[in-house]
Amino acid sequence: MLKIVPGQAFPLGVSEVDNGINFAIFSQHATAVTICLSFNERIDDRTLEFKLDPDDNRTGDIWHICIQDLPRKNVLYGYRIDGPQGWHHGHRFDDRIVLLDPYAKFVEGRRYFGGENKSSGFLGTYDFDSLPFDWGDDYKLPNILEKDLVIYEMNVRAFTADESSGLASSLRGSYLGVIEKIPHLLELGVNAVELLPVFEFDELEFQRHPNPRNHMINTWGYSTINFFAPMSRYASAGGGPLNASREFKEMVKALHGAGIEVILDVVYNHTNEADDVYPYTTSFRGIDNKVYYMLDLRNNGQFLNFSGCGNTLNCNHPVVMELILDSLRHWVVEYHVDGFRFDLASVLCRGPDGAPLSAPPLIRAISKDAILSRCKIIAEPWDCGGLYLVGRFPNWDRWAEWNGIYRDDIRKFIKGDCGMKGSFATRVSGSSDLYKVNNRKPYHGINFVIAHDGFTLRDLVSYNVKHNNANGEGGNDGCNDNFSWNCGFEGETEDANIRALRSRQMKNFHMALMTSQGTPMMLMGDEYGHTRYGNNNSYGHDTALNHFLWGQLEARKRDHFRFFSEVIKFRRKHPHLFSRENFLGENDITWHESNWDNPESKFLAYTLHDGNGEDVYLAFNAHDYFVSVSLPSPPTKRKWFRVVDTNLESPQDFVLDGIRGIGSTYNLAPYSSILLKAKLENELL
């Protein structure tokens, strides 16, 4: 017989105390709270339920209970919560539903990704039995300077889910699968991975009711169920939440051992619980909807939707803010992650009524937090309500930003749009117009041409318009402003000239990205030219459309991949040129340009100086004709050596030691770029 005592209000969630297991949950507006315990895999007739007494088991807005003689592991728990039924006042209580604890550190649901049990619920569990994870005596954090990061955006499952990964079926799509492929990341040359969401999410959420998207599986994961628990179905062999936690740590430890940092893409702007049309009550909505979500109380308590996903988390409410801070600290302390990228971070800059805040409390708290202070902190500085804050995100000189303006300007110039030369120059030199404010640095701009949403790099040069019919939304989803160019034919083609031009353009984009001031980020799969066949919003396809195709990588290892890898390594080998701490001054760069005001001019050349004569000359030709370039004189006692010419085929497109014999002019091919390095005759690069 279990013995019940009142328990304590803190910490929230489950904790082990001297006289048992303590459970504590916040709900300001609840009138009744019942804890449900199960020793099976689900809540059923054998579930134990204990109703909490508001007089004994409530302190302020915290409901709590301590249960003695409970097992220290393998117990599932949830809550039934009742309260006011006035939807027009913002309440959504329903005590028929067993709710997941927002502070649960482990979440039990179905065991296999995309498994058959579509109606599986999600319950908290705990483990006070296992020994602490052994990080190792020689373990240490990479502590890479922000200016030196080269970020690889990737999806844990998609990285190894395909059979071509060569992994055992039990490892495919798992945290352990990532470990097996660390040699690829090292060969590519990146030193940080930015993981698409790894918080617990329901990949089968589209299949809960008949709808045009019920054929899809949420493979990106932007639909958080719980902010503390690692995605349990990324465990190997259906191992469940405790194994998922351990294997996540093993992945982080292995990546750190290889000198690769781990940044998490986190979603605090909305949750999985949708809207009032198709509500999906699993946690926050049923615990205290009026606190956790932004509501329009002047319009019958309807959800405000700045996320595009039906609801918006009330991030700057003190209770919600503390939940977010606690979860971020948990990932740093317990899992040793190195940083976070905040999805639709402009939502975090809104007050409870949705109005923008000039000094958002949550953003400031993250900036100043003692534990989070060592982390990389990156904002996606826009939301679906039109709050576009690129270059203006409240930052306390700590926050970096996804530079969406960089993406658009680089795309437009490389594909040959008129009037883009000045903007292109501003972007590759560090976007000082956006970030040269107070103590911000060039590396606070996260430069990218491609990200998970939008075209892949290959599709950017193969499609003029999106092809999203497979998503079931009539082609209405996904961005329409892609600034792409198909190079003369829409989609796949055998035309050798078009294929060569596309290859050249992909190399041009990569060259611009990796030689720009600021922090570069590339997308998984672009290193071999992955295509989604024009789908620019592939969030719901757990197929080869999103999976990394290792066979294609192998086929392109000697040309496309080789070029991408060599350019990354060249950047990292020359931080004094490309990864500067401060914005470029007049002694750091020379623009070889007298034609700035001509909108028809699509050629740009410049020299980066390092102060020791090891200069680099770069030129980009976005014209459809050859340009004869008059080269500047190299530094004293040095000569120009050609390292890169994207018009040449592998291995001549990148020659590490450089090709000598460069004269006073260079004939630069249409849609191509070059990099020349100044060096002594017998000097190695």
79: β partners: 35, 99
* Res. 466: pLDDT tops 80: yes
pLDDT of the residue at 209? 87
* Res. 648: pLDDT tops 80: yes
Task: Tell me the mean pLDDT in the region 188-202.
Answer: 98
- Distance separating alpha carbons of residues 683 and 238, to the nearest angstrom: 54
Q: What are phi and psi of 508, to 5 degrees?
A: -60, -45
pLDDT of the residue at 344? 98
- Distance separating alpha carbons of residues 506 and 530, to the nearest angstrom: 11
Coil, helix or strand at residue 648: coil
- How confident is residue 46, by pLDDT bands cut at 50, 70 and 90? confident
Task: Tell me the mean pLDDT in the region 565-569.
Answer: 98
Fold agreement between 3-127 and 585-680:
yes
245: β partners: none
Task: Tell me the mean pLDDT in the region 523-544.
Answer: 98
* Res. 47: pLDDT tops 90: no
* Res. 378: pLDDT tops 80: yes
Share of the chain above pLDDT 70, in %: 99
Question: Residue holding tokens 């502590």?
Answer: 143
Is-contact 84 33, C-beta < 8 A?
no
Query: Cα 590 vs. chain centroid, distance in angstroms?
Result: 35
Q: Which CATH class is domain 148-264+315-456+500-534+545-578?
A: alpha beta
Which pairing describes strands 400-402 and 445-448: parallel, antiparallel, or unpaired? parallel
Half-sphere exposure of 107 (CA within 13 A, CB side): 29
- Distance separating alpha carbons of residues 502 and 457, to the nearest angstrom: 10
Tell which residue, 366, 284, 383, has the closest CA to residue 328: 366
Tell which residue, 566, 591, 603, has the closest CA to residue 414: 603
* Res. 681: pLDDT tops 80: no
Is residue 559 flagged as an active site residue?
A: no
Candidates 3.30.70.980, 2.60.40.1180, 3.90.230.10, 3.10.150.10; correct CATH number of 585-680?
Answer: 2.60.40.1180
Question: pLDDT by residue (tens digit) across 315-341?
Answer: 999 999 999 999 999 999 999 999 999
Query: Cα 146 vs. chain centroid, distance in angstroms?
Result: 16
Is-contact 58 52, C-beta < 8 A?
yes
Task: Tell me the mean pLDDT in the region 441-457.
Answer: 98
Q: Is the dihedral of CA 380, 381, 382, 383 positive or negative?
A: positive
* Res. 397: pLDDT tops 70: yes
- Distance separating alpha carbons of residues 147 and 29, to the nearest angstrom: 47
Rounded to two decimals, the pTM is 0.97
Cβ neighbours around 418 below 10 Å, total: 13
Tell which residue, 66, 79, 89, has the closest CA to residue 3: 66
Question: Residue holding tokens 């060592």?
Answer: 374
Question: pLDDT by residue (tens digit) across 108-143?
Answer: 999 999 987 766 789 999 999 999 999 999 999 999
State the chain's mean pLDDT as an integer.
96
Distances (CA, A) of 676 to 29, 107, 406, 509, 642: 67, 54, 24, 17, 4
Q: Hey, which bits of 3-98 come out as E strands?
A: 3-5, 13-17, 20-26, 32-38, 48-51, 58-59, 62-68, 73-82
Coil, helix or strand at residue 676: strand
pLDDT of the residue at 115? 85
- How confident is residue 206, by pLDDT bands cut at 50, 70 and 90? very high
Q: What are phi and psi of 658, to 5 degrees?
A: 85, 150
Catalytic residue among 108, 202, 288, 380: 380
Cβ neighbours around 88 below 10 Å, total: 10
Catalytic residue among 101, 162, 343, 614: 343
CATH superfamily of 3-127: Immunoglobulins (2.60.40.10)
| Least confident residue range of 42-51, 144-153, 437-446, 513-522 | 42-51
**594 exposure class (CB count in 10 Å sphere: 0-12, 13-18, 19+):** exposed
Is-contact 174 236, C-beta < 8 A?
yes
Rg (the chain; Cα; Å): 27
Which pairing describes strands 339-342 and 261-266: parallel, antiparallel, or unpaired? parallel
Question: pLDDT by residue (tens digit) across 55-96?
Answer: 999 999 999 999 999 999 999 999 999 999 999 999 999 999
Is residue 163 flagged as an active site residue?
A: no
* Res. 188: pLDDT tops 90: yes
Mapping DSSP onto H, E and C, the string for 300-345 reads CCEECCCCCCCCCECCCCHHHHHHHHHHHHHHHHCCCCCEEEECCH
- Distance separating alpha carbons of residues 381 and 383, to the nearest angstrom: 7
Where do the domains of the chain lie? Answer: 3-127, 148-264+315-456+500-534+545-578, 585-680
Is-contact 427 448, C-beta < 8 A?
no
Question: pLDDT by residue (tens digit) across 552-563?
Answer: 999 999 999 999
Question: Residue holding tokens 């048992």?
Answer: 20
- How confident is residue 44, by pLDDT bands cut at 50, 70 and 90? low
Task: Tell me the mean pLDDT in the region 588-595.
Answer: 94
- Considering only residues 592 and 685, tell me which one the structure prediction assigns the higher pLDDT: 592
pLDDT of the residue at 525? 98
- How confident is residue 460, by pLDDT bands cut at 50, 70 and 90? very high
pLDDT of the residue at 664? 95
Task: Tell me the mean pLDDT in the region 162-190.
Answer: 98
CA geometry: angle 135, 141, 144, nearest 5 deg: 160
Is-contact 448 411, C-beta < 8 A?
no
pLDDT of the residue at 116? 75
- Considering only residues 166 and 86, tell me which one the structure prediction assigns the higher pLDDT: 166
The string over 461-492, giving b where at least 16 C-beta atoms fall within 10 Å of a residue's C-beta and e elsewhere, is: bbbeebbbebbbeeeebbeeebbbbbbebeee
pLDDT of the residue at 685? 55
Q: What are phi and psi of 561, to 5 degrees?
A: -60, -45
Question: pLDDT by residue (tens digit) across 477-488?
Answer: 999 999 999 999
Is-contact 286 344, C-beta < 8 A?
no
